[in-house]
Structure 1
């Protein structure tokens, strides 16, 4: 399997979509393109790699926190907690190259996902009714966000909103699980009994960032939509809870914000995965937790401002003014 294209190479090879899905039917013969919420097919673009060109992972292996020697303390991981189960950390150094991990924690089948172009890290319950879905990477983008697909029905899913957009399961919403990105040392300090996903058996330069300097770019990659309002920079990280977004610079300055029934907290200690050529050398962007008034973790996302505006155009910007 060939290596994932670097950001620069992908930029030069990315293909525009056709104005209708006939362009993809040879690649997706089992997808029901007649059932869809897409009204403008030009929104769908190829990111460069073909279907499964970015190989999603299934049946990941784990090691004890104390056994992990490859990952630096500031490297980002996605923390997933399921009641009654040992905490699990999914390193971004692996998800950068695979984007989806299909796993099962206890009796809960989960999909842990990361879209580098939107900085969106979300974890979903893979159950839809009586089905358990297995997700792959379609190679398509919409508003620069990964389009996933499920192997059972070949339906397409928008990662940022966890919703089916093409095929049999169009309109179906996945259940979002509480999870968050933080530095590995922060995970290990809080969960010394936790486990960490082991390095996959793929030939990838794990620990390197193929999207070097992306989060300091002035414009997003493969995005032609509107820029965010209120002069918010398009590549600024925002904390999304439902249809509300808090700019990261506001939270980083305040360290804690209590608004609208939620408590957002920020602490230093997490490197950007989209800055330096080596992830651990990335600048510190901090780690965010979101809880309710009782202290329970809430589902949320830390994504770029342009992506929030693209998928929640009527969303509320929590600017604190």
Structure 2
């Protein structure tokens, strides 16, 4: 019995030392982050490889008229943001593969347009919190395989998929989400010939390439050790998240229109997966969706991988 307790004690010390070392690595280079304030266990956060700002956010975006853009393939996905009274804006996913965050201002509203390739999560946020306008960068860390952003004003860490601060002075605060959706570049151009499209943030850079070849047909997500979805649901299947509910994209492909729980999901045709072929425009076809309420107004949603929905909405409803 005594030997058992000695072995147990040694194992506990080793685990504690490992957790302590991991925490020490995470906190290096973040002298202005208050790690005494967290809403999650720091052991859930891990390095994704690049360090702080190793993935450079876009802070001074410029735009072209949609009719003047010649580099983007018709099948390539774009994140669309339409704010009343403003020209619609398209943010091509080809740029998010390199930058992941665009800090922008639309009609006086400061926004952060974000995309995490590992979760296929594309979400747009209002950057104002408690009377302060924040600007966001990429921390280089992941939680549940999802990007951890940080704000440059307090260096608090934010979970991209849900827009919540999880570490630092602003821990527990949430960003307001703004309706946006993913569609093909051809669909955006056809609907918005006078719309705007994000210009290439860097000159002569090989945008349009996919560094995550065949990722969305892999059997497991990258750097994820959480629970997988229930009932044998493919963890890499795309699901349409509205609040804490999820509808499979494949169901929408079959039915074309779903009206449930005050939500209308309408099939909008195909677009290329950004996470399949080496060239984004050559990616296999995945569906596009528009999500509206009963009055025809666009509402906040996301098209994310099933594992990510289950990770961040463990008590969510599957349809």
Judge same fold: TM > 0.5, yes or no.
Answer: yes
| 1:290–1:297 Cα contact (<8 Å) kept | yes
CA distance in 2, matches of 1:132, 1:173: 13
Aligned pairs for 1:130-145 within 5 A: 130-145=131-146
| 2:26–2:46 Cα contact (<8 Å) kept | no
| 1:268–1:284 Cα contact (<8 Å) kept | no
| 1:19–1:42 Cα contact (<8 Å) kept | no
SS at 2:219's partner residue?
coil
CA distance in 1, matches of 2:43, 2:168: 17
For residues 12-68 of structure 1, what are the alpha-carbon distances to aligned partners after superposition, in whole Å with 9 as ceiling and x for unaligned?
xxxx975663323331010000000112x2211111101000000011000001100
| 2:74–2:184 Cα contact (<8 Å) kept | yes
SS at 2:309's partner residue?
helix
SS at 2:188's partner residue?
helix
| 1:215–1:275 Cα contact (<8 Å) kept | yes
| 1:155–1:168 Cα contact (<8 Å) kept | yes
Superposition RMSD on alpha carbons, in Å? 1.3
Residue of structure 1 equivalent to 2:259: 258
Q: 1:22 aligns with which of 24, 38, 50?
A: 24
Q: How many residue pairs get matched?
A: 302
1:161 equivalent to 2:165? Answer no
CA distance in 2, matches of 1:17, 1:174: 30
Say if 1:193 and 1:228 are closer, same or farther in 2 by CA, change over 3 A: same
Greater Cα shift, 19-28 or 115-124: 19-28
| 2:23–2:43 Cα contact (<8 Å) kept | no
Aligned pairs for 1:167-316 within 5 A: 167-201=168-202, 204-316=205-317
Greater Cα shift, 244-253 or 143-152: 244-253
| 1:35–1:170 Cα contact (<8 Å) kept | yes
| 2:101–2:115 Cα contact (<8 Å) kept | yes
CA distance in 1, matches of 2:106, 2:49: 32
| 1:17–1:45 Cα contact (<8 Å) kept | no
| 2:164–2:175 Cα contact (<8 Å) kept | yes
| 2:26–2:47 Cα contact (<8 Å) kept | no
| 1:120–1:303 Cα contact (<8 Å) kept | yes
| 1:17–1:43 Cα contact (<8 Å) kept | no
| 2:245–2:318 Cα contact (<8 Å) kept | yes
Say if 1:18 and 1:238 are closer, same or farther in 2 by CA, change over 3 A: farther
Regions of 4+ moved over 4 Å: 16-20
CA distance in 1, matches of 2:229, 2:208: 31
Say if 1:47 and 1:20 are closer, same or farther in 2 by CA, change over 3 A: closer
SS at 2:290's partner residue?
strand
CA distance in 2, matches of 1:141, 1:130: 28
CA distance in 1, matches of 2:284, 2:206: 20
Give unpaired runs (5+ residues) of structure 2: 1-17
Greater Rg over alpha carbons, structure: 2
| 2:91–2:197 Cα contact (<8 Å) kept | yes
| 2:101–2:114 Cα contact (<8 Å) kept | yes
SS at 1:42's partner residue?
helix
Q: 1:31 aligns with which of 30, 33, 47?
A: 33
